[in-house]
Amino acid sequence: MGNTADDFLIAAEDKAFDMNHRAIINNSIDKYDNAVKVGLSKIANLENAKRKAHVIKWKVMENLDKLLPEFESNFQRRGGKVIWANDAEEANKEILNILQRVGAKTVVKSKSMATEEIHLNEFLQNNQVEAIETDLGEYILQLLGQAPYHIVTPAMHLSKEDIAKLFNEKFGTPIDATPEQITQKARELLREKYLQAEVGITGANFLIADSGSIAISENEGNARLSTSFPKVHIAVVGIEKLIPSITDLDLFWPMLATHGTGQNLTVYNTILSGPRQANETDGPDEMYVVLLDNGRTNLLAQKDQRQGLYCIRCGACLSACPVYQNIGGHSYQATYSGPIGSIITPHTDGMDKFKHLSYASSLCGKCSEVCPVKIDIHKMLLLNRRDAVNSGLVTKKEQWGWALWKKGMLSRKLTDFFSGKTKNYFIKMFFNKTWGHLRNLPNVADKSFSKQWQQKDKSEL
């Protein structure tokens, strides 16, 4: 594997100048912006709602060691089982143990970024278990062998013509099939899988401590089918998804929906509190919740940056980010892309490997502005940059370069020592290959403003 930062620059440059890609993503984000604008206008006091959500998530992170056992205790009281997984390897191993015990050969999955994070599909395939994505966008990407492009709309980067061509190649549908025809074909293919699968795997949008429940929001109903037909249900959920009470959903459900898609509420909102009870007619015989750490406690230990764990995965910051809009989701080469991915990935997956993501920002602050839980995302990006420098994760060339720049900027004498012509020469020598091939390099004036001002004063005497 090559250098992650170098791969990022190559992929970002490729996508930034791909006009077809830019047209598709800008069209999708324009539709999103219009829908969200309408949705947010229906919230009586948006700023107050954001502050309340921020405070609730702050309390959760400050009391995570108390709320997680509370959730576990309440969930187990209704027959559910909790599995604590420190990392992806542990999570995958525990899931495979369950599948092997029940003899599962087929698994149906609803949309889950946590399972993407642990690369569950690839792991199950390597262990001879068929895992079928049932969310239409995720199913399309599974057919293509691609990772999600966006947290909420995973196939945002594909046009309807791209998808029609894919279904024509895979299933023989008309090359000019409409979105409705494609959806109908997917429904025909997936319905049979729900009946065949022994196990259903989902994520969860929220873990509810006081009721010992998980809450799932969706628009297609596939999560309900994935949790109703199979005899075993496994939910893989990050430990940061906790909220204290079921009453908090009256805030978080609308905030997630409006910031995610512009809807007042998503079409299906489900609360699951364990396996099927004696007086219930449907549901699984067994239900497991895998509480996934996978680097989250590393971020929790960072007092200044633990805000990143407040995220409810609405995707608003991705759609608002000018960098994301130009380079797309796959360029980040991380499970979570865009601004939120840039602040959490260096802590969960290694600062040495992903520190460059914190520089993939214009620091315009739009991400912080749109965040429904008021995470200071652009501030977190700066703190990550600070940590990378303090940890010695920058090259000597970069260290010396900034040291010389600082020395020059702090001394007017040194700043004015070189002529504008000399400065332009050095700019071209050092930055022509890295910056100059994409933009016009700045042209430094022959004399600094300070020198010009001194000469002006002398000429007026």
Is residue 217 domain-shared with residue 83, that is, in the same domain? yes
| Three-state SS letters, 88-126 | HHHHHHHHHHHHHHHCCCEEEECCCHHHHHCCHHHHHHH
Q: Alpha-carbon torsion 312, 313, 317, 319, what sign?
A: negative
Residue 29 lies in a domain: no
Find how far residue 176's CA is from the centre of its chain.
32
Residues 271 and 417 grouped into a single domain: no
DSSP letter at 357 equals G
Residue 342 located in a structural domain: no
Residue with tokens 């749109």: 370
Q: What angle do CA 264, 265, 269 make, to 5 degrees?
A: 175
Positive or negative torsion for Cα 16, 17, 20, 22: positive
Residue found under tokens 């290959």: 433
Q: What does the pLDDT profile of the chain (461 residues) look like in tens digits?
A: 457 899 999 999 999 999 999 999 999 999 999 999 999 999 999 999 999 999 999 999 999 999 999 999 999 999 999 999 999 999 999 999 999 999 999 999 999 999 999 999 999 999 999 999 999 999 999 999 999 999 999 999 999 999 999 999 999 999 999 999 999 999 999 999 999 999 999 999 999 999 999 999 999 999 999 999 999 999 999 999 999 999 999 999 999 999 999 999 999 999 999 999 998 888 999 999 999 999 999 999 999 899 999 999 999 999 999 999 999 999 999 999 999 999 999 999 999 999 999 999 999 999 999 999 999 999 999 999 999 999 999 888 888 888 888 888 898 888 888 888 888 888 888 888 877 787 888 898 888 888 888 888 777 65
Give pairs for 264-268: CB < 8 Å, separation 24+. 264/39, 264/42, 266/217, 266/218, 266/219, 267/218, 267/219, 267/220, 267/221, 268/216, 268/217, 268/218, 268/219, 268/220, 268/221, 268/223, 268/224
Q: Report how many domains make up the chain.
A: 2
Hey, is 270 helix, strand or coil?
A: strand
Q: Quick check: is 17 in a domain?
A: no
For residue 384, is it within any domain? no
Looking at 265-416, which runs of residues are DSSP E strands?
268-272, 286-292
Domain interval for residue 270: 43-294
| Helix or strand (DSSP H, E) at 288 | strand 286-292
Structure tokens at 60: 């959760």
Residue 233 located in a structural domain? yes
Count Cα atoms within 13 angstroms, Cβ side, for 430: 11
DSSP strand E in 4-91: where?
81-85
3-state secondary structure at position 132:
strand
Provide the 3-class DSSP secondary structure of residue 328. coil
Domain presence at residue 390 = no
> Residue 199 is encoded by which pair of tokens?
């196990």
What are the phi and psi torsion angles at 367 (to 5°)? -60, -45
**What CA–CA distance (Å, rounded) separates 437 from 98?**
54
The sign of the dihedral angle between the CA atoms of 348, 352, 354, 360 is positive
Q: Is residue 386 part of a domain?
A: no
Does residue 355 sit within a domain? no
- Write down which residue in 267, 294, 321 finishes a domain: 294
Considering the domain architecture, whether residues 289 and 401 belong to the same structural domain is answered as no
Q: What is the pLDDT of residue 221?
A: 95
Residues 6+ apart with CB under 8 A from 375: 54, 307, 308, 310, 311, 340, 368
What pLDDT shows up at residue 431?
84
Q: Where residue 72 sits, what CATH number does that domain have?
A: 3.40.50.10420
CA distance 435 to 237: 41
Residue 14, amino acid: D
**pLDDT for residue 246:** 97
- Counting every residue, how long is the chain? 461
CA–CA separation, 140 vs 130, rounded Å? 16
What pLDDT score does 151 carry? 95
Report the relative pairing of strands 206-208 and 81-85 from DSSP bridges.
Answer: unpaired
DSSP H helical ranges for 127-246? 136-144, 160-171, 179-196, 222-228
According to DSSP, residue 307 is labeled: G
Select from 294, 326, 359 the last residue of a domain: 294
By the 10 Å C-beta count (0-12 exposed, 13-18 middle, 19+ buried), 365 is classed as middle
Domain boundary among 260, 294, 328: 294
